Amino acid sequence: MPLTPFGRTVDAVLLKHQQAAAAPSPMLSPVSKWDALRELAAARKAYGLNDRDLSVLQALISFLPGTDVDPQPGVTVVHPSNRTICERLNGMPNSTMRRHMAKLVAAGILIRRDSPNGKRYVRRSQGERVAYGFDLSPLARRYAEFSDAAEAERALASRIKQLRETVSLMRRDLLNLALLGAAEDPELSIWDQFQDLAHLTARDLRRKLGLTDLADIQASLSTALEETKRQLETLFAEKPGTSDAQIEHHYQNSKKDSFESEQAVKPAHAPHTESQEDTGYAEKPSEQGPVSHETRPQPPKAPDPSGPNLPLRLILSACGEIQSYADGAIRHWPDLLRAADTVRPMMGISSAVWEETKTVMGAAEAATVVAAMLERFPDIRSPSGYLRHLNAKAVSGTFTSAPMVMALARKAAA
């Protein structure tokens, strides 16, 4: 085993770097010592270094005059004493400093150049400068290597950040879809499993995860989302909202809202309009009985929460753009209706078409449709014509807003 002049053994790693330093090196340009330190700090994990090791290296670099490190061995040698180094490290213990120094030497960042008496100093002999201490030339010779390793670490960090954001969005979409499925078919136990998976993923994301861990979580969430979409598509295919009972119930609610609105403004209508509305309303079975024309009902009440047959939270998750047009947070159906009333003229929907929509669909369903249209507004050439077409489908009992909202939810989860 090779020995230093003072009997200290030299491990294989140190011997390799000393032999490389003694060999003739290609012509390299000096490198800024701070740039080298910055690149090495970014790539420290690749060399098994930590922040304390780099603090010791920074203290050593500060003893080097100028701003550049020469790649030629023996030119950039610093020779501070241990006491001086510890003072510059804000009082770090000598034993701790020597341990970090040994890690830097083992990683090939520094090269020890021992003097005959074990001291660190510089002397001139026959016009030649000879320095004993720590050689910083590997910082310049290996600068390209440090830069490549730093770039790889930055790319890895970027991939981890992007994958973490993707997993977070997938977790949120899985939870919202599972809540929708539980509301539509609570008998199916798979919704509880998906909700548990979403909550466990949120707990895992509190930790600092690597690329492999995040990829595993993404794979499990992707599988769960595919299964959720399949279950929901099957559920809505079997329950499209067009059965006789659902159509009749939805139609009665819509006409009820319409009748109350008509009654509130009855003096403004012609007698023929009143008679036609009363006759149309009487054709449907109702538990309220005949309505007296002399009675003036109260202003229309808030929309029925069960109108759209979808949870309000899912609608807001899939149609988040409507939030920008609300006075505050949308927490209830009347808040959604007020936001729809605000954005409707901006979308080019005429007042006549809007009143017809609320009459045919019901206020809550109409507000949901406007929120869904707002998400696809650039693709709709004529909002009033499109809404009139939906009104015709609603009158025939072949329209519900659930497929629109679910399509937006699937698009967000994709």
pLDDT per position as a tens digit, 177-193: 888 888 778 788 888 88
pTM, entire model: 0.48
**% of the chain beyond a pLDDT of 70:** 75
Indicate the average pLDDT of the chain. Answer: 76
| pLDDT tens per residue across span 294-337 | 444 443 343 343 356 678 888 888 888 888 888 888 888 889 99
Q: What is the pLDDT of residue 122?
A: 76
pLDDT bucket at 414, cuts 50 / 70 / 90 = low
Which amino acid is present at 261? S
Give CA angle at 182 (181, 187), nearest 5°: 110
Check whether 355 has a pLDDT greater than 70: yes
Compute the average pLDDT of residues 97-121. Answer: 85
Pairing of strands 77-78, 121-125: unpaired
- In this structure, of 150-154, 255-259, 344-348, the range with the lowest mean pLDDT score is 255-259
**Calpha distance 334→340 (Å, rounded):** 10
Integer CA distances (angstroms), 376 to 347, 387, 402, 407, 412, in order: 11, 13, 15, 11, 13
All residues at 6 or more sequence positions from 298 whose CB lies less than 8 Å from its CB, including other chains: 264
**d(Cα 55, Cα 25) in Å, to the nearest integer?**
28
pLDDT for residue 260 = 35
Is residue 325 a contact partner of residue 337, using CB atoms and an 8 Å limit? no
